[in-house]
Amino acid sequence: MQLIVSILMLSVLFDDRVEAGHAHSFQHFHGPVIGDAEEVTWKDNHGHHHHDYVAHPHYEFSYGVEDHHTGDYHGQKEHRDGKRRVIRESRLLKRLGL
């Protein structure tokens, strides 16, 4: 009985691996800052001093999935240049009837 259960579990794992072969995913990252960093020091409520660095934030990243078998295509891109300017783009494409 244990042998049958083990074979069934392995067949389920094998099936998942085969179906995963139809999809493609991607990712990209570039960043995080450009230029000189400025040291920032502050004291918290407990009197401890903390140090950190601040620089001009500049990054971009993207990721997505392209599954030709199921027709699932989606992804996201984000680009930041400066303290307040963030550009985001999302995409989603589904086959009709799903």
**Closest alpha carbon to 71 in 23, 31, 39:** 23
> Is 4 within the bounds of a domain?
no
- What is the pTM (predicted TM-score) of this model? 0.43
Residue 2 resides in a domain: no
84 is a domain residue: yes
What total of structural domains would you count in the chain?
A: 1
The boundaries of the domain holding residue 83 are 25-96
Q: Find all residues with CB under 8 Å of 15, minimum gap 6, and list them.
A: none
Q: What is the pLDDT of residues 33-56, one digit of tens each?
A: 667 778 888 888 888 888 887 777
Q: Are 59 and 29 in contact (CB under 8 A)?
A: yes
Tens of pLDDT, residues 49-97? 888 877 777 888 888 888 888 788 889 888 888 777 788 888 888 776 5
**Residue 19 pLDDT:** 42
> Is 66 part of a structural domain of the chain?
yes
